[in-house]
Amino acid sequence: MVAVTGVTTRVFQVPLQRPIGDANDPVGRSRATVMAVQLETDEGLTGLSLGNPGSRQTVVEFAEMLVGEDPAGVRGLWQRMADRAFKGGVEGIVKEAICHLDVALWDLKAKANGEPLWKTLGASSGQVLAYASGIDLPLSDEEITAFYGRMADLGITLGKLKVGRDLEADLRRIELMRQALSKDGRTARLAIDANEYWSPKEAVRYVREVEKTFDLEWCEEPTRRWDVRGLRAVSRQIATAVATGENLNGTWDFLPLVHGEAVDIVQVGQYTSGITGALQVAELAAAYELPVATMNCPGDFMAHIGTVMPLHLGVELVWPGWEAIVDNHQVVADGWITLSDRPGHGLELRADAERYEVDELPFGAMVSTQGRRRRHSWSDHVEPGSPAAGAVAGRA
């Protein structure tokens, strides 16, 4: 038996290799604030997770529930934390704290087993498909070509582009992505992401125009994440699959969308209530024969869950510069991620990560993005860098 003895948290502010942003944040941000959560044990093993620092205090409080517990019982411990969150719900910073601790527990469970996480999860292979995602609205044409060209060099043929504000510009940028991913005669596969920027009718009109030129794999978050009526209307009026889920909390959020035929591709990630919650949602999707795509995270450790999903489309690779503080020991080639055989999820803090460590949370670190900036609304006229725009912080 391995027993949890305590938790430590460290906060880092990482300069990004390129500005990242979407339709709601077209200027983008050039640095990100991330928290490392480390669960210690009496056997000297440490479980690691990375995420939003806004939940730092809640992580410390919830970790008290885990002291003396064996990480082997991670699913039961997840349920205990979820029950603790009952009144306020498994959402917001409480959900994020559960996510961070759940990931660290799974890392510990695999390390105690002396095997990689994908094997602990029950996979027969440590390989999983990848797709490219630049979070690229702020990028120039040359930068878009360079990013997707870099991904094409790794054999990746599926790319996802941020769109939503300017149809003419988006059509040009999609073509740049297509050309970059078509290296060596390969056929590029294309997806777009509007980050909830449109209304349902705007989404239908916009995507139909894109479909006149491009064959799309999916359109991500064309309208609000919880809008069963709107997402269903979009799905029924376009040829492209509708994907959603990266900002939902768990099965309770996905079930109305699945029952309401409002989602064609289910998306999960570390903030789908952690690894445990993401697996629950993937099982729900499998029951309805719905494919699943895995969202990005620092170090791409969530790639492990893709190895046990029967209808998995790929893991989102953003690569904005997290290697400044972490090593993940994964290899990407021929469009596939080969996960490490190291015990745990394979993610480790670099020895020199401390150069980016900060003692206090920077202003704006409690929120992950600039927020929703609807076209023609007051927020669309906030000048970048003004106090109203807030600081650039959060997860990529």
Please determine, for residue 395, whether its predicted confidence score (pLDDT) is greater than 60: no
- Domains, in order of start, for the chain: 4-115+351-381 (3.30.390.10), 119-349 (3.20.20.120)
* pLDDT over 70 (residue 379): no
User: Which of the four pLDDT bands, split at 50, 70 and 90, describes residue 363?
Assistant: confident
% of the chain exceeding 70 in pLDDT = 92
- Name the pLDDT band for 396 (thresholds 50, 70, 90): very low
Residue 387 in this model has a pLDDT that exceeds 50 = no
Lowest-confidence region among 59-63, 317-321, 326-330, 365-369: 365-369
Dump pLDDT digits (tens) for 281-334.
999 999 999 999 999 999 999 999 999 999 999 999 999 999 999 999 999 999
Please give the average per-residue pLDDT across 204-216, as a whole number: 98
- The answer to whether residue 365 scores a pLDDT higher than 90 is no
Residues 78-104: pLDDT tens digits? 999 999 999 899 999 999 999 999 999
Q: pLDDT at residue 377 above 90?
A: no
**Is residue 384 scored above 60 in pLDDT?**
no
Query: Do the strands 336-338 and 127-133 form a parallel or antiparallel pair, or are they unpaired?
Result: antiparallel
pLDDT category of residue 367 using cuts at 50, 70 and 90? low
Average pLDDT, rounded, for the chain: 93
pLDDT for the residue numbered 361:
79
How confident is the model over 139-195, as pLDDT tens digits? 999 999 999 999 999 999 999 999 999 999 999 999 999 999 999 999 999 999 999
Tens of pLDDT, residue by residue over 248-288, are 999 999 999 999 999 999 999 999 999 999 999 999 999 99
Q: What is the mean pLDDT of residues 53-60?
A: 94
The confidence band for 222, taking pLDDT boundaries of 50, 70 and 90, is: very high
On whether the pTM is more than 0.95, the answer is no
Does the pLDDT at position 197 exceed 70? Answer: yes
pLDDT at 393: 32
Q: Please give the pLDDT value at position 370.
A: 65
